[in-house]
Amino acid sequence: MTVLELALAKAPPTYQRVAVIAIAVLVLVLVVELVRRRRLMERYALVWLLAAAGLFVLGVWQGLLTTLATDVGIRSAPNALFALGFAFVVALLLSLTLVISRLSDQNKALAQRLALLADRLAELERERSER
């Protein structure tokens, strides 16, 4: 455990809520800045903006995490938060896997087109040299 985690664990709930809200706002500002600088594409920024919004809602709405945990059958709020984080990571991995698969297919198609164009160019050069 880091010093920050220990400090937050012993802090009153209001300090924890303020920390969660600050982290959510920081993520929101960071994502907007990355999109503005064209370092992050808008379609991927949407996932991070939704995560920041969810974190913000959990920080502002006191008792929401406990209520959600109880409704789902999880006994403690920290375990529910861990489950939400794990679900987010799995969804992010699935999303990135889909992107990688699509890019791999596009890369294969481009390589095939390049090979066809190189063959056609070689054929035209042979015809030209025969004349």
Q: Which residues are CB-contacts of 16 (< 8 A; sequence separation ≥ 6)? A: 8
62, 88, 112 - which closes a domain? 62
Residue 30 lies in a domain: yes
Q: Which two tokens stand for residue 34?
A: 């990355």
What do you get for the CA distance between the two ends of the chain, in Å?
78
Judgement on whether residues 84 and 124 belong to the same structural domain of the protein: yes
| Residues 91, 55: Cα–Cα separation, whole Å | 16
d(CA 68, CA 76): 10
Segments forming the whole domain that contains residue 25? 1-62
Whether 17 is covered by a domain: the verdict is yes
DSSP-derived secondary structure letter, 39 = S
Residues 58 and 87 in one domain: no
Total structural domains within the chain: 2
pTM: 0.69
Per-residue pLDDT of the chain (131 residues; tens, 9 = 90+): 565 555 555 555 678 888 889 999 999 999 999 999 999 998 889 989 999 999 899 888 878 888 888 999 988 888 988 998 999 999 999 989 999 999 999 999 999 999 999 999 999 999 999 87
